[in-house]
Chain A
C-alpha cells in the first residue's frame, strides 16, 4: 500500500475510534457532574433498544435470499422465540434456532 493509502486507513480508524469513545466519555462526565446535567437524555435511552431492533432487521436477511432460505429463517426465528419463552436466556435459544435453520437448509440442499 502507498503512504497515502496507509494514511487513509489510519484516519478512518482514528475517526471511527473517536466516534466510539468521545460520546461515551462525554456521557460519563455528564453523569458525574454536579451541575444538574446528570441524566441521560430520554431520546438516547429510546434510541438504544431501537438500534438493536434495526440490527435485527438488517441481519435477518439471509446470505443468499431465496424461498428456501426465507422459509428456514422464519422457522429458525420461530424456534428461537419458542425456546426463549421457555428459558428466558440468550445461549440455548440461539443454538436451537441455528440448528433448526441449518437443518432446513441441509435437508433442502439434499432434496434439491
Chain B
C-alpha cells in the first residue's frame, strides 16, 4: 500500500488540530484583548473581526488600531505594520524543505504566525512526508479560527469576560512559554546551540521588559546567530 493511502488527510489534519491546541492558551486571551481594545478605539465588532481575519498578526494589529485611534497618518500606520511583520520573511524558507509542493500555499501561508512556525518547525521533521500538508492545514486553521472567534468575543463581551474571570487571562497565556520551552529544550544538549539559544532567550526577555517587544524577536535572534558564529567550542581535548 502506498504511503499516501496509509495516511488519511482528515486524520492528519485532526492531528495538527490536536497538536495546535496548546497555542490557544495564548491566542484566546490575546485575541479577546484585541477585540476589546479595537472597539474601545472606535472600531465596530465586524471591523475588528475583518482586521483579525485579514492581517492576522498580533502585535501589528494592536499597533494598527492604536495608531489609527491616535490619528497617525495612514501611510505611517501601514509602514509600521509592515515593519513589525517583516520577521515573517525568514519563517517560510525554513519550512520550504519540510512541506510538499502545492498550488494552495499562496493562501495557506497566511496562517504562518510566530507560533504556528515554531510548532511546524518542531513537529514537521518528526512526521511522515504524506501527513505534513494536512497537518499544517489543521494546525494553522485552528489557530486562525481561534484568533477570529476570540476577536469577535472580545469585541462583543470582552469587558464582561475579563471582569468575571480576571485570573484566566493571566493563567492561559502561560501555555505559550511552556510550549516553546519544550521546543527549544532538545537543542540544549549541544554546548554551542545552548549558548546561542540561552543568549537569544535572555535578549528577547530583556528587550520585552524594556518595552521593545515589537522588535525583540528579530533582534534577539540576530544576537543569538552572532553568538553561534563567533563562539566555537574546541572538541579536541575530548578526542585525545
Contact = CB atoms under 8 A, between A and B. Distances in A.
B217 to A, nearest CB: 4
Nearest to B119: A90
A61 B109 contact: no
B17 interface: no
Contacts of B185: 81, 84
A5 B68 contact: yes
Q: Is the interface of A mostly helix, strand, loop or mixed?
A: helix
A59 B26 contact: yes
B45 interface: no
A56 B56 contact: no
* B interface secondary structure, majority: helix
Contact of A94 (B29, B118, B179): B179
Contacts of A13: 54-56
Interface residues of A, number: 71
The 6 A-B pairs with the shortest beta carbon distances in the complex, nearest first, are A57-B204, A24-B92, A27-B96, A13-B54, A97-B178, A56-B180
Interface of A: 1, 4-5, 7-13, 15-17, 19-28, 30-32, 40, 43-65, 69, 72-73, 76-77, 80-81, 84, 89-91, 93-95, 97-98, 101-102, 105-106, 109
Given A93-B178, A98-B172, 10 more contacts: A21-B109, A24-B112, A25-B105, A32-B101, A47-B221, A49-B197, A58-B204, A63-B170, A77-B181, A94-B25
